[in-house]
A and B are shown apart, each in its own frame.
Chain A
Amino acid sequence: MPTETAITHLYRRAGFGADLATIQAKAAQPLATTVGELLDDVVDVTRPAFLDADIGDWEKEYALTAWWLDRMAASTKPLQEKLTLFWHSHFATENEKVGDMRLMWDQNNLFRLNCMGNFRQLVHDMSLQPAMLVYLDGAYNNKYAPNENFARELMELFTLGVNQYTQNDIVAAARAWTGHNIDDDVRPYTYVFNAAYHDDANKTFMGQTRNWDGPGIIDYLLLENATKKSVAAHYMARKFWAFFAGSTPTDATIDAMAADFLANDLNVKEMLRTMFLRGEFYQSYARFGLVSNPAEWVVRISKATGIPMSEPEVDPQPPHFHLWGLEDTGMQLFEPPNVAGWKNNAYWLGTTQYWARATWIWGNAWMLHQADFLRAEVFDVLEGAGGDARYATAADNALAKFGLYAPTTNTRNLLISYLKRQYETSGEWDHLAWLYTTQLITLSPDFMMA
């Protein structure tokens, strides 16, 4: 049976953490059973009504960001949402250019419903969605002056990685994609094939001279050419590992993941199963391999406090977290920094990015007052009997509230000594117990790690 440490790790990476009862229950059954449960079918969602409301697009963007973060926290299929985030970063698309959250929703929900299906089909589907057509300039791509933007990133970022193609291949692929455009007479935009704009002549792509069409490029790379298909499988295996484990993988692990990916015709679910069952995934260097990204950090705070991101629609307003300020953490959903998406680890640890998280919790923790957060766990304990032991009890209670059931000695000792010093030097501390304790824990290495 797996250890509780392994299960805690699995649930943080394949989701957004688990409560102690879940961890204990899953530690009492085979790991393969738990992984199978996590990889169970995806669930559908209801399209949020605000997408069609008569409000500004930026308001929709704000609302859908809150909606998605809340869904990450509350979904019974957290891996589905984690994978949706993975695909959003992999096929990165910015609404700043797309300019219509209805199109971003279509893309987001494509990722959600096909998050662990066939990779080749997902590439096909996202390629012809208006969000991607607008973002990478396929929207008006025509044979008179082919636009190379999508053709390049399809190979460089979406499937193969660098150095797997030539500039000639990009030019040929750009010609192949001509005519796959948007219809901008309708709102929201729809996909349209403009035969008059499509280059219907022979092109030489990767040494093959044919009358290439855009989707045929995808099938060539991910089906017909076994070498390129294998390159893509390894490229994707490394991306999944970087997202879920973070550490530098052994070649054996990447080869095993890629082999399963190929053996199942690029089925994502089977590759993930291999990864989550791999011994290396549970090595300490993999457990210590990843800094949380701001979205998962916020979601875990939301889960710990029980306070959602979405603003309530009726009065009296219960507390909710604000999204303002999250942009500076480096991770604004629906606005990845560029088509290469978000990176990991060091990417989140610039002073600016760390600072934005510190400032966000600094500015938002005040509302926890309304929820009486940590009153029983910290304040009442400090006010009670028990001598110095009560500082440790209060610290352990608070850490457990944030899902840190086995904190490091470093963090635990620091929190205990802080509580003691602060409590002994101040008379009335009730209005600050929840505030300062929350800030210290959410900025601790224990909580900042993924």
Chain B
Amino acid sequence: MTMTTPARHTRADSAHHARVAGTTPERRRLSFPGADIGLSRRRFMQLGAAGAGGLAMTPLLSHLEAFAAPALGPHDPILVLVELDGGNDGLNTVCPIGQSAYYAKRPNIAIPANQALRINSATGLHPQLDRIKFRYDSGKVAVIRGVGYNPPDFSHFSSMAYWMQGWGGTSLPYPTGWIGRWADGLPNAAKESLYQVVLDQSVPLHHVGVNNQASGLPLWVGGAFGMDRDDAWERRLYQTVANYAASGNSGLGAWGNEIAATGKQLVQITGKIGAAYTGEFPDDYFVRQMVLAARLININLGIRVITARIGGFDNHSGQGGVAGDHADLMKSLDDGINAFFQTISPTFKRQTLVMTFSEFGRRPEQNADNGTDHGTSGPVLLIGDLVKGGLYGTQPLVSDSQLVDYGNLKSFVDFRSVYATVLRKWMRADDREILGRRYELLDCITSAP
């Protein structure tokens, strides 16, 4: 796995594998004989429940609006996930400035203590995270340290799949992710496609449910199919594309049905989202995502969870310290989160929680290319008005006697403890059912909205 610096359209990231890790043939043993299932399961279940004729034809676009998600009330939680792809260097994000071993192991890339944004004598944030630090000082950021799992897996793909799956039980009958399983419990889950939204990417594993299906929305829609509804002939074309799914049977098996259903889903969605795309956007790829995320929330389509993604963290070479590739990523992260909170309307700000995650941290000792190789634990940030700000977890020690698994950091907080906390204390959900077992809860959220 390799990754380069974050160009606007960096696709060099790991999550694509994870997002389809649950859809490889090997993991589809419960599928229909010879047929793939994956995202099609939702449609199979619809067919099973309603019969082949159960999907009524909807001759007018306006009828499709019946699928609109329930709008959000002031007590409905919103979760924005920020996926840091490639393995973010946790030690240069939340820096152990009090540990001499940190500087000994990273002669070229450590963050000097006097340049880190000081939280206390032992800990400081990367100097590019200054707006996050401002929010931290306002008590709105929980920094959870040493988050990982045991034993660690150093593959981008396997590790991200663990994180996205978020399952601690004994068996998982379908390849699903923790957010997808949560969305399965929402009203009308099998039909609603705007409960969960991912920006500019295929659906990652954490958004895959048994019944509910996430929608992917692009960052640019200028001239895009489906957006302009002024012309009657174009409307008829859109409707005809949607009608490929009307009979519920493409005659081409599960994937043929899925193609038809995707077209119909697209025609529905493009009729609703235009307002979020109007106006100016920043150039930065990640910041643009975060602004779009806030605007999508503001028009209240009923979206509950959005994932934005920033790639380029696989800094095997030339990652830099205070400046350089990783610093640029930290700046994008800081800019994006700041832009999000500046864009979101006061109506929804209080009920929104932002959470970062990455598949693993990086090794304490720098390599010969002034980069770092795949590591283990790292920090997770929770940001929002109802977060109980402060430091949580345990800062892993960098000295040799404290390292495990080929010179890597210990993990102190299972990532599913963070999920359990978010699910129970923020989403008011049954964390045990969704995660497959109980995990220790963190006291880092004041209350659900």
Contacts and interface: CB of A to CB of B under 8 A. Distances in A.
A233 B28 CA distance: 21
Interface in A428-450: 432, 436, 439-440, 443-446, 448-449
A140 B25 contact: no
B2 A136 contact: yes
Contacts of A162: 155, 157-158
Contacts of A358: 224-226, 241, 263, 266
A149 B12 CA distance: 14
A345 B36 contact: yes
B405 A436 contact: no
A19 interface: no
Given A337-B16, A418-B240, A345 B38 contact: yes
Contacts of A422: 233, 236
Contacts of A371: none
A142 interface: yes
A100 B269 CA distance: 40
Interface stretch (A80-88, A389-397, A408-416): A408-416
A352 B198 CA distance: 9
B244 A347 contact: no
B252 A445 contact: yes
Contact of A449 (B202, B243, B249, B252): B252
A140 B23 contact: no
Nearest to A134: B2
Contacts of A290: 255
Given A96-B7, A354-B262, A440-B241, A283 B12 contact: no
A247 B260 CA distance: 19
Given A148-B373, A288-B253, A340 B35 contact: no
B50 interface: no
A410 B259 CA distance: 13
A344 B193 CA distance: 22
Contacts of A445: 244, 250-252, 256-257, 259-260
A449 B244 CA distance: 14
Nearest to B216: A352
Given A339-B2, A352-B202, A436-B233, A448 B34 contact: no
Nearest to B267: A358
Chain A residues touching B, majority SS: helix
Interface in A328-347: 328, 330, 332, 335-340, 343, 345-347
Task: With a 10 A CB-CB cut-off, give which of A171, A246, A343 has the most chain B CB atoms.
Answer: A343
A145 B372 CA distance: 10
Nearest to A342: B16
Interface string B246-287: 010111111111111011011001100000000000000000
B7 to A, nearest CB: 7
B33 interface: yes
Nearest to B365: A145
A167 B155 CA distance: 10
Contacts of A137: 2, 316-317, 369
B163 to A, nearest CB: 16
A398 to B, nearest CB: 14
B47 to A, nearest CB: 14
Interface string A126-137: 000000000111
A229 interface: no
Contacts of B17: 338, 340, 343
Contacts of A226: none
B218 interface: yes
Nearest to A249: B25
Contacts of B398: none
B122 to A, nearest CB: 28
A351 interface: yes
B223 interface: yes
Interface in B353-395: 367-369, 373-374
A96 to B, nearest CB: 5
B12 A337 contact: yes
B35 A285 contact: yes
A337 B11 contact: yes
A343 B255 contact: no
A349 B252 CA distance: 15
Task: With a 10 A CB-CB cut-off, give which of B233, B237, B255 has the most chain A CB atoms.
Answer: B255
Given A248-B25, A363-B223, A436 B237 contact: yes
A347 B36 CA distance: 12
A133 B48 CA distance: 51
B20 interface: yes
A246 B24 CA distance: 10
B25 A340 contact: no
A288 B35 contact: yes
Interface in A51-79: none
B255 to A, nearest CB: 5
B88 interface: no
A326 interface: no
B198 to A, nearest CB: 8
Contacts of A353: 202, 216
A97 B12 contact: yes
B174 interface: no
A352 B25 contact: no
B130 interface: no
Given A96-B10, A449-B255, 7 more contacts: A96-B11, A137-B369, A149-B316, A153-B1, A162-B155, A337-B11, A418-B240
21 contacts: A96-B4, A96-B11, A97-B2, A147-B316, A147-B369, A247-B35, A327-B9, A337-B16, A338-B17, A338-B156, A343-B16, A345-B258, A346-B23, A346-B38, A350-B216, A351-B216, A358-B224, A362-B223, A362-B225, A408-B250, A443-B241
Q: Which 10 A-B pairs have the closest CB atoms?
A: A288-B253, A285-B34, A145-B368, A352-B216, A408-B251, A358-B225, A350-B216, A350-B202, A445-B256, A343-B20
Interface of B: 1-4, 7, 9-14, 16-17, 20, 23-26, 28-29, 31, 33-36, 38-40, 154-158, 193, 198, 200-203, 215-218, 223-226, 233, 236-237, 240-241, 243-244, 247, 249-260, 262-263, 265-266, 269-270, 316-317, 367-369, 373-374, 405-406
